[in-house]
Amino acid sequence: MVFYEDMHPGRKVVGPSIVVDKAEMVAFATIWDPFPFHIDEEAGNAAFGGLTAPGIYVLALKQRLIHQLPEQGAVIASLGYDEVRFHEPVRPGDTLTLVREWLTRRASKSKGDRGIVTVRVSLINQTGTTVMSYVDILLVRRRECAGHAGT
């Protein structure tokens, strides 16, 4: 378990990867975001040179990768996403790798058993290009009580 005390600003963690499955992507898009360039090859080619994944699908893949991390965070809740960006299209066959970078942390002022951490979450494709990123504000458990070492 990764606690508040383990989330040091400046630390970057590279997580697991996933290959974007065309059939799964199109099935998802057909239900949740049926723009033609997500589900029809011809429309995708005309608009963007190929099929592109819906942003909500990219976020779902990111969440799948977070749950595949060998050590789970002691997260109580996400307090919200900021700066959500889809930098480049995600396409069938792309290999996406999860990267997390801890940005800031502070102990909770009202509850000593938790802290607030900001983390930049990114998906990087097989060419090293960032395709999606956002800043997540997390409420996380502390291993130690407030006032002890590690704060």
What's residue 151's pLDDT?
Answer: 39
| Domain region containing 104 | 4-141
Q: What is the structure's pLDDT at 144?
A: 76
In a domain, 132, yes or no: yes
Residue 21 in domain: yes
For 3-42, write each residue's pLDDT tens digit: 999 999 999 999 999 999 999 999 999 999 999 999 999 9
Whether 62 has a pLDDT exceeding 90, the answer reads yes
Number of domains in the chain: 1
CATH of the domain at 73: 3.10.129.10
Going through 1-151 in order, the beta strands assigned E by DSSP cover 12-19, 75-86, 95-107, 114-124, 130-141
Q: Are 53 and 63 in contact (CB under 8 A)?
A: no
Q: What is the pLDDT of residue 91?
A: 98
Beta bridge mates, 32: none
Q: How confident is residue 138, by pLDDT bands cut at 50, 70 and 90?
A: very high
Report the C-alpha dihedral over residues 133, 138, 144, 145, rounded to 10 degrees.
Answer: 150
Tell whether 148 is covered by a domain. Answer: no
| pLDDT at residue 148 greater than cutoff 60 | no
Give the strand order in the sheet containing 12-19.
12-19, 95-107, 114-124, 130-141, 75-86
> Does 147 reside within a domain?
no
pLDDT number for residue 145:
59
Residue 149 lies inside a defined structural domain of this protein: no
> What pLDDT sits at residue 150?
42
